[in-house]
Amino acid sequence: MEKNQKQSNSVFIHLVVVLLLCSSSVSVSERIVPLLQSYEKPIFRSNFQTIYDTSKYGVFHLSNGLAQTPQMGWNSWNFFACNINETVIKETADALISTGLADIGYVYVNIDDCWSKATRDSKGQLVPDPKTFPSGIKALADYIHGKGLKIGIYSDAGAFTCQVRPGSLFHENDDADLFASWGIDYLKYDNCFNLGIPPKKRYPPMRDALNATGRTIFYSLCEWGVDDPALWAGTVGNSWRTTDDINDSWASMTTIADLNDKWAAYAGPGGWNDPDMLEVGNGGMTYEEYRAHFSIWALMKAPLLIGCDVRNLTAETLEILSNKEVIAVNQDPLGVQGRKVYATGKDGCSEVWAGPLSGHRLAVALWNRCSKVATITAPWTAVGLESGIRVSVRDLWQHKVVTTDAVSSFSASVNAHDSHLYILAPATPSYSVQ
């Protein structure tokens, strides 16, 4: 009985998805075609659209005008967890400016869980924790806005947040109004204590409540990928988590990259798959592993939300986070998520990830997930180029063109757990970079 009902529910959901796809394809096709039509022969192989399936690209998107490229900024959770206060948030805003990170796009200063008091006030409103945020969130927002940055806050589509502060389920309108009155620019909306109500019921009310405030607020869904949000969240939020929380380890980072890859066809301007915040700089991975983490997150069009203590960055961490060429791949206006296209070696641990960029270019990562140095080859057949095409190859970590004359494939020796990231641009004059 219960099983039958589940089956008929899922058939129904599939039908709805198909109908939505059909009904919206007409209106969006005009938007998509000009962006993608140039990816045809003669430079690109006829299977290009198969390798980089973009059939869902731009089909769903929230029309609040935000997230034309993935969001960039900082979030308190990965480094500070619950140990936050208004001082550390202000010092972080100051550090984003003094390090130059704000200038290159990291503009959201996002407060995660633990900012609020354990109970609502007598009028049912959320209250900032008086011990840690004695000046209130409005004053903090003013401070952050005064620096030219934006402020994000956190709540939960449940009875409580994960750290057992009041949640916003059934308080969506009050809480959205309060956030808007403080000048909030971004909401991360978590999934704890959700009373077993499906995400598809719990997340849209906050979208509508935020919209009704009239303030443009980035809406970041964090339902941990439990209900395959790529299939439905595009009309609900500007990004949706596709997985459980990341932790500061190679095992976690690689697992999450693979899980997020599955949904590549659904990302596009307006809505992004979110494999969770960066761990770069937190100490649990090597320099090479962090460089791979940052390269693959950039290529996957993931949000670039720094998760370390920006008041105390090492030179290596700053070098990774401020690589403008890698950031430009992430922020490319075409907005097509790169993906794993080829794997060789033991257990397929020599990986090629790639994605199209504007201007007839391709971003290609050679990611060595083996435990020893390896030579990794990206054949044109695998990345979607015609075999006779001649390309120039720019290394985005060495900051130089390594060849102007690669034909049929490109190879490099890559250290264990490292990833190189390249831009391939056809050298054929009539197809050169615009």
Ligand X SMILES: *[C@@H]1O[C@H](CO)[C@@H](O)[C@H](O)[C@H]1NC(C)=O
Q: In what order do the strands lie in the sheet with 239-241?
A: 272-274, 239-241, 218-221, 186-190, 150-156, 108-110, 72-75, 304-306
Q: Which of 112, 190, 261, 276 is catalytic?
A: 190
- From 209-217, 224-232, 347-355, 402-410, give the range in contact with ligand X by CB under 6 A: 209-217
* Residues numbered 121-160 forming contacts with ligand X, rule: CB under 6 A: none
395 is an active site residue: no
Residue 27 CA to chain centroid, in angstroms? 26
3-class secondary structure, 352: strand
Residue nearest to ligand X (CB): 252
In one-letter notation, the amino acid at residue 358 is S
Tell me, by CB under 6 A, how many residues bind ligand X: 17
> For residues 23 and 63, which CB has a smaller minimum distance to ligand X in the complex?
63
245 is an active site residue: yes
- From 27-35, 197-205, 208-216, 233-241, give the range in contact with ligand X by CB under 6 A: 208-216
Determine phi and psi for 169, rounding to 5 degrees.
-60, 130
One character per residue 278-317, x = contact with ligand X (rule: CB under 6 A): ----------------------------------x-x---
Rounded Cα distance, 48 and 333, in Å: 19
By the rule CB under 6 A, 27 interacts with ligand X: no
- Helix, strand, coil percentages for the chain (3-state, nearest 5): 35, 20, 45
Among the listed residues 355, 406, 400, the one whose alpha carbon sits nearest the alpha carbon of residue 382: 355
Task: Assess contact for 263 and 230: CB atoms under 8 A.
Answer: yes
By the rule CB under 6 A, 216 interacts with ligand X: yes
Which member of 85, 163, 235, 409 binds ligand X (CB under 6 A)?
Answer: 85
Give the shortest CB-421-to-ligand X separation in angstroms: 24
Task: Assess contact for 295 and 365: CB atoms under 8 A.
Answer: yes
Rounded Cα distance, 152 and 76, in Å: 10
Which member of 87, 408, 411, 432 binds ligand X (CB under 6 A)?
Answer: 87
By the rule CB under 6 A, 82 interacts with ligand X: no
Task: Assess contact for 281 and 314: CB atoms under 8 A.
Answer: yes
By the rule CB under 6 A, 255 interacts with ligand X: yes
By the rule CB under 6 A, 83 interacts with ligand X: yes
Give the footprint of ligand X on this chain (CB under 6 A): 63-64, 80, 83, 85, 87-88, 211, 214, 216, 247, 249, 251-252, 255, 312, 314
Which sequence positions are flagged as catalytic? 190, 245
